Amino acid sequence: MLIDTKMAARVAKLARIRVDAADLPALAQEFTNILGFIEQLNEVNVEGIEPMTSVTPQRLFRREDVVNDGNQQVAVLSNAPDAREGFFAVPMVVE
Amino acid sequence: MSDLMKLTLSGARDALRAGQTTAVELTEASLAAVTASKPLNAFVHDTSEIARAQAVAADIRIQAGGAPDMCGLPIGMKDLFCTKGVTTQAASAILKGFIPEYESTVSKKLFDAGAVMVGKLNMDEFAMGSSNETSTYGNAVNPWKVDDRELAPGGSSGGSAAAVAAETCLAATGTDTGGSIRQPAAFTGITGIKPTYGRCSRWGIVAFASSLDQAGPITKDVRDSAIMLEAMCGFDPKDSTSMNMSVPNFEAALTGDVRGKTIGIPKEYRVDGMPDTLEHLWSEGTAMLRDAGAIVKDISLPHTKYALPAYYVIAPAEASSNLARYDGVRFGHRAKLAAGDGITEMYEKTRAEGFGAEVQRRVMVGTYVLSAGFYDAYYNRARRVRALIKKDFDDVFSAGVDAILTPSTPSAAFGLGEMVDADPVQMYLFDVFTVTVNLAGLPAISVPAGLDSKGLPLGLQLIGRPWEEGDLLNTAFALEKALKFNSKPNQWWL
């Protein structure tokens, strides 16, 4: 798969990573190389094989649906870059 | 440097029980060695105050009797483990200043067992790398040196391996997503084991690729790996993939008796360009296990070639999802915003500033393979191939193979900076013998086997059946006894 700068820009946008326009050609080339390497997978016959979801044959562990923690507002907010009045603060989202 | 740091975990444990030393003495010796090891850049966060308090508490416990094996033993902690009240950054700028309000299950288990944390250790950013060159703290340096070049300690647990090989602490925690315990252990001439997926709780370990990540110890020998792994393992209701299964006494499994065990030698692991010394060590290891009474059998794992490409779909896909949480809202770095910037600009600038180049690359590759229109062609296909890779192993195990012997890495350590201009794919190839194991969720251990033509260590890997770490450790113990590897790096950094 040849990745062009338009596709590279689209992927960067989806990943929410700002990439300068000047860096897009190099990024597109790297994607092309990595995806070229990945495309070896097309040689494998995977007919009738289910995609693996878990390496261990166990059902995921489930706990009882009860409240077992809480009242941790200070701890939860302690690492926030911007916390005000008990909330995480972000730029305006809704006008 | 104090001779105390030459001890193994088991040696130090026994010396503590015999009253020949104290946890305080061991800890002071370790902290002095840590300070003297600055040129290796293995330790990135000072926890000496915590260590000293833990050592005092450990001595009281040892005197009272019945203390666990790890009690009073100084270890290093990979920066990927959240440690309450201690900066934890996963070697990333995006987590600058992050101080967890909670303790990871594995570090808690070690602390409950009395282990002493002498510092947090360098690593590749978010555990993405094979050389420790993607760290925001700068490169960790391999204690091994044969010319004027500084060598990579491997990665991602490069700081852990460098710290233990340099004898600054007795052992260290590591994590392994595609080889991040075994490859650095091999590059530094020491031992490291990745247990079966689900053995160690992932809770509180900064996530990279959740279906592949496992914690494990990096130690000086196999016995130490058995002791420390046992302290790290166990069911944890906080990790839904943790296995509810009792943890055996791994050290008790070390009899060295491998008579009647079947060892598989996979033909697909013989790759072009493999150094002669490595090929020779592999044959020698095979002969040693045969001499010890094991049955050696040639086997085939036909999908081996596809493990790396499958890994480089699955791991980035999971990483792109896991790393979505770094958005500058709840923790870590937030970019300075310009007038008029909204929330999207905040996300995009924060992630561009906070993530290094390799992390950005993998997050974007992951985003691409999961995006509409490509999900089936890449992600689902890779998961199907993963099922076939696991089936390769299931087939040889059901045909009676107990363990598989392979090289740990295709070559010895390379120089720092030597791979900088290479295509990223070239760096990925260092994981060719280790990634299969993560994809199949199996336990595997790397033991130091010998030196290459330049005098640098090479490792051999043993891969075991799921949940049979005890048996695997015993086979590794027998191999270690036969190999008699006892070389150590010159302490050039002192």
Q: What is the pLDDT of residues A63-90, one digit of tens each?
A: 889 998 899 999 999 999 999 999 999 9
Is residue B364 classed as helix, strand or coil in its secondary structure? helix
Structure token digits, residue B307? 């493990």
Contacts of A54 in chain B (CB under 8 A): 211, 241
Residues 6+ apart with CB under 8 A from B152: B131, B132, B133, B139, B142, B158, B187, B413, B414, B415, B416, B419
Closest residue to B99, CB basis, from A37, A79, A91: A79
What is the per-residue burial (b if ≥16 Cβ within 10 Å, else e) of B214-228?
Answer: bbbbbbbbbbbbbbb
CA distances B230 to B199, B225, B360, Å, are 10, 8, 35
> Do the chains contact at A56 and B101, CB–CB below 8 Å?
no
- C-alpha span between B55 and B115 (Å, rounded): 8
> Do the chains contact at A46 and B381, CB–CB below 8 Å?
yes
Structure token digits, residue B115? 């282990």
> Do the chains contact at B388 and A46, CB–CB below 8 Å?
yes
Average pLDDT over residues B21-33: 98
The complex scores an ipTM of: 0.96
Contacts of A87 in chain B (CB under 8 A): none
Element (H, E) at B448: strand B444-451
Q: Which of B314, B367, B393, B432 to mutate to test the interface with A (most CBs of A within 10 A)?
A: B367
For residue range B238-247, what is the model confidence (pLDDT) as tens digits?
999 999 999 9
Contacts of A41 in chain B (CB under 8 A): 306, 309-310, 313, 378, 381-382, 385
Min distance B154 CA to chain A CA atoms (Å): 21
Range with lowest mean pLDDT among B284-298, B410-424, B435-449: B410-424
Cα–Cα nearest to B229, from B238, B241, B221 = B221
The pLDDT value recorded for residue B40 is: 98
Report, as residue numbers or ranges, the catalytic residues of B: 78, 156, 180
Residue A47 has pLDDT above 60, yes or no: yes
Closest residue to B330, CB basis, from A51, A54, A88: A88
The single-letter code of the amino acid at B121 is: L
CA dihedral of residues B310, B311, B317, B321 (deg, nearest 10): 150
Q: For A12, name the nearest residue in chain B, comparing CA atoms only.
A: B364
What would the DSSP string read from start to end of B396-409?
HHHTT--EEEEESS
> Do the chains contact at A46 and B384, CB–CB below 8 Å?
yes
Tally the C-alpha atoms within 13 A of residue B27's C-alpha that lie toward its C-beta. 26
Average pLDDT over residues B140-165: 97
Q: Are B304 and B404 in contact (CB under 8 A)?
A: no
> Angle at which helices B357-370 and B307-322 pack, to 10 degrees?
100
Interface check for B360 against chain A (CB to CB < 8 A): the answer is yes
Strands B74-78 and B457-464: unpaired
Cα–Cα nearest to B352, from B126, B91, B93, B136 = B93
For residue range B65-88, what is the model confidence (pLDDT) as tens digits?
999 999 999 999 999 999 999 999
The pLDDT value recorded for residue A94 is: 80
- pLDDT above 70 covers a percentage of chain B that reads 100
Contacts of A59 in chain B (CB under 8 A): none
- C-alpha span between A51 and B460 (Å, rounded): 31
Q: How confident is the model at residue B1 (pLDDT cuts 50, 70, 90)?
A: low
Residue B339 has pLDDT above 80, yes or no: yes
The pLDDT value recorded for residue B346 is: 97
The pLDDT value recorded for residue B272 is: 82
> Do the chains contact at A14 and B237, CB–CB below 8 Å?
no
Average pLDDT over residues B124-142: 97
Q: Are B445 and B472 in contact (CB under 8 A)?
A: yes
Q: For A43, name the nearest residue in chain B, comparing CA atoms only.
A: B306
> Do the chains contact at B211 and A55, CB–CB below 8 Å?
yes
The residue that leads in pLDDT, B106 or A57, is B106
Closest residue to B337, CB basis, from A44, A60, A91: A91
Q: For A61, name the nearest residue in chain B, comparing CA atoms only.
A: B240
The residue that leads in pLDDT, A94 or B166, is B166
B247: left (phi over 0), alpha (psi -120 to 50) or beta: beta
> Do the chains contact at B440 and A55, CB–CB below 8 Å?
yes
Min distance A9 CA to chain B CA atoms (Å): 10
The pLDDT value recorded for residue B64 is: 97
- C-alpha span between B292 and B412 (Å, rounded): 27
What's the first-to-final CA gap in chain B, in angstroms? 9
Q: For B334, name the nearest residue in chain A, comparing CA atoms only.
A: A81
Residues 6+ apart with CB under 8 A from B199: B214, B233, B243, B247, B443, B467, B469
| pTM to 2 decimal places | 0.97
- C-alpha span between B408 and B294 (Å, rounded): 20
For residue range B153-175, what is the model confidence (pLDDT) as tens digits?
999 999 999 999 999 999 999 99
Residues 6+ apart with CB under 8 A from B286: B263, B265, B296, B405
Closest residue to B348, CB basis, from A17, A33, A54: A17
Strands B74-78 and A87-88: unpaired
> Do the chains contact at A90 and B346, CB–CB below 8 Å?
yes
CB A90: neighbour CB atoms within 10 A? 17
- C-alpha span between B211 and B383 (Å, rounded): 11
Cα–Cα nearest to A14, from B354, B373, B324 = B324
Cα–Cα nearest to B69, from B79, B61, B77 = B61
Is residue B160 classed as helix, strand or coil in its secondary structure? helix
> Do the chains contact at A41 and B306, CB–CB below 8 Å?
yes
> Within the 104-163 window of chain B, which residues sit less than 8 Å (CB to CB) from chain A?
none
> Do the chains contact at A15 and B320, CB–CB below 8 Å?
yes
Cα torsion A27, A33, A38, A41: sign: positive
Residue A53 has pLDDT above 90, yes or no: no
Structure token digits, residue A54? 């878990």
Cα–Cα nearest to B389, from B263, B213, B266 = B266
Residue A57 has pLDDT above 80, yes or no: no
What would the DSSP string read from start to end of B247-276?
PP-TGGG-----TT-EEEEEGGG--TT--H
- C-alpha span between B58 and A64 (Å, rounded): 36
Residue B130 has pLDDT above 70, yes or no: yes
> Within the 235-254 window of chain B, which residues sit less than 8 Å (CB to CB) from chain A?
237, 239-244
Cα torsion B245, B251, B252, B255: sign: positive
Q: What is the mean pLDDT of chain B?
A: 97
